[in-house]
Chains A and B, each alone.
Chain A
Amino acid sequence: MKRLFHVLYGEPWWHLVALLASFALCGYALAQLLAGDWWGVVQWAVGAAVIHDLVAVPLYGSADWLLHRAVRAGRPRSPRRIAVVNHIRIPAFVSLILLLVYWPLISMDSSAQFRTATLLDPGVFRSRWLAVTGVLFGLSGLHLAFRLWRDRDDSKPTT
């Protein structure tokens, strides 16, 4: 019996039980979630997964790859060049994460609503993000300069 189930289903029985229990809960909530603008919700949820997996991941993956190519510029890989890549990659990652999360404020997408509701100036976020980005790259650059100076006599620095 168990063997037959495995042949037909491809997974053990508790796999099916767990998924059916989950689908029951998800389905119950989904019925309410889709009770309003269901097409809008489907576009948002499926769209978010598709855009993340098929656009965002390949995009930042390629950008990272291009960064490597640009830093190496055809020369063989060395710990020093990898260090340069990482001292660009890490502040860029942090800066882009801040941009992603605070995009509505930084892009001023909701600036009229923001000003009406909070009585605050919506124009400050772009310059603040740029300043934070500048500080991140500045600190990273200083750290890199220190590392290169420390390892200046060492032809093969250990990173």
Chain B
Amino acid sequence: MKASPARRPGPWRSPLRGPWLTSVFGAVLLVGIPVLFLTGLLSYAAYNPDLSHVNDKTPGKGLLGFYLFSWPTHPYWLYRVNQGVHVTLGIVLVPVLLAKLWSVVPKLFTLPPVRSAGHALERLSLLLLVGGGLFEFATGILNVQLDYIFPGSFYPLHFYGAWVFFGAVLAHVALKLPAAVKALRSRDLRAELRTPTSRTRPEPFDATGLVPPDPAAPTISRRGALGMVGLGSIALLVVTAGQSIGGPLRRTALLAPHGRSPGTGPGGFPVNKPAAAAHIRPQDVGPDWRLTVSGVGGSVRLSLVDLQRMAQRRSALPIACVEGWSTNDQHWEGVRLRDLAALVGHTEDPPGVFVESVQLAGSFRAVALSAGQVRDGRSLLALRVNDAPLTPDHGYPARVIVPAAPGVMNTKWVGRLTFGATDFPGRA
């Protein structure tokens, strides 16, 4: 038996609050959040974390890595699109998330605060939902702006936080979906979009605790409120998406971190770890620079001239960062990774390769690439880009470029390639 809801006047008087409005925002998030979760999981898989500890920033993942697979190289724009969608959609959903939270805020102050054991557990789950959700959005938004003020390394925080948040989302959807579907059916969206402020009436008072007991007169219609939230999302889309689309649209990304290119000419495309930031010393990449290539057949040391004498191949591939920004296809030229593998005895079906930069310290100064990535004919040790030698900031004298791999997997200032290895020599 359900008691009729008590009509206690409270501070929350907006006549727009009600199960229908909450469910509209909820429906948008019900589509958006799974897309964020899925693109996030894919981005984690793109690092091939199971291949080597240097690729894996969350070694304690355990069962949460159940879905991992060897990341493909086709289509070559896979990571670019995945990460552009992940970051841009996350940013665009901020107004919807805040509107959803606004619409349910009276529930935080419901009396009595705990009705039953079940209600207490549900409120605990809601703390995981709201705390986890805000944590995920905050860490992601801070990380793409290079503002590393969160408590720890971004990868484990954002990855484990995502699972906590998604676990709470699953419970919330399971418990609320029937009520949300009923609420969405209670009003006709198209009729609502034709209703001006003067004809806006509160939703019928009910037991959900969302509709105010003594609603104020409306100052905006539901159409207006939805439009305002949508306008916020569109504004964020406009000032953000260009950094992932590139070309002339890059400059429309007025507030996004990579809405500009740092220079002009062949090496003018965006960068996130220039030579100075990686503490690359001139002597490490000067005339004495040598590339050590090792495999089953032994080791060779190659100078830049030696590499230039090998067969030069071309690939048009983008740089796509975990932070969502990317470049258009750049025209790379250099030696195929599989040709380098053949040089040290891997003439057929080369294995993966362990790539080390001359960079002395820092995250991702070494990565392990999979056999599939080595065997793709577009995977290069690039010496040139856009018909000019690499610039120091883009990895002179030689850098790796692999189709569909996250930006940091394309090691710059390469000093050593060890085929068949997944760790530093001596630690394998």
Contacts and interface: CB of A to CB of B under 8 A. Distances in A.
Interface of A: 8-11, 15-16, 18-19, 21-23, 25-26, 28-30, 32-33, 35-37, 40-41, 43-46, 48-49, 52-53, 57, 68, 77, 79, 82, 85-86, 89-90, 93-94, 97-98, 100-102, 104-106, 109-110, 113-114, 116-120, 125, 128-129, 132, 136, 158-159
A28 B64 contact: yes
Contacts, number: 218
B271 A68 contact: no
A45 to B, nearest CB: 4
Interface string B181-216: 000000000000000111000000000000000000
B325 to A, nearest CB: 9
Contacts of B164: 26, 29-30, 33
Contact of B146 (A86, A90, A114, A158): A114
> Interface on chain B toward A: helix, strand, loop, or mixed SS?
helix
Nearest to A128: B254
Nearest to A5: B118
Q: From B138, B217, B254, name the one whose CB has the most chain A CB atoms within 10 angstroms.
A: B254
A56 B132 CA distance: 17
A19 B129 CA distance: 12
The interface residues of chain A, by DSSP majority, are classed as: helix
Contacts of A119: 262-263, 271, 274, 393
Given A18-B174, A125-B255, 6 more contacts: A23-B167, A90-B228, A90-B231, A110-B146, A114-B257, A118-B270
Contact of B142 (A21, A41, A104): A104
A18 B175 contact: yes
A63 to B, nearest CB: 13
Interface string B254-281: 1111101011000000111110110000
B322 to A, nearest CB: 13
Interface residues of B, number: 83
A117 B273 contact: yes
Contact of B197 (A40, A97, A100, A159): A159
B105 interface: yes
By Cβ-Cβ distance, the 6 closest A-B pairs, closest first, are A10-B116, A40-B151, A11-B118, A22-B171, A29-B163, A104-B147
Interface stretch (B32-40, B152-160, B351-359): B152-160
A151 to B, nearest CB: 13
Given A79-B198, A120-B262, A45 B131 contact: yes
Contact of A100 (B62, B94, B175, B277): B94
Contacts of B274: 116-117, 119
B41 interface: no
A101 B143 CA distance: 12
Contact of A98 (B119, B138, B239): B239
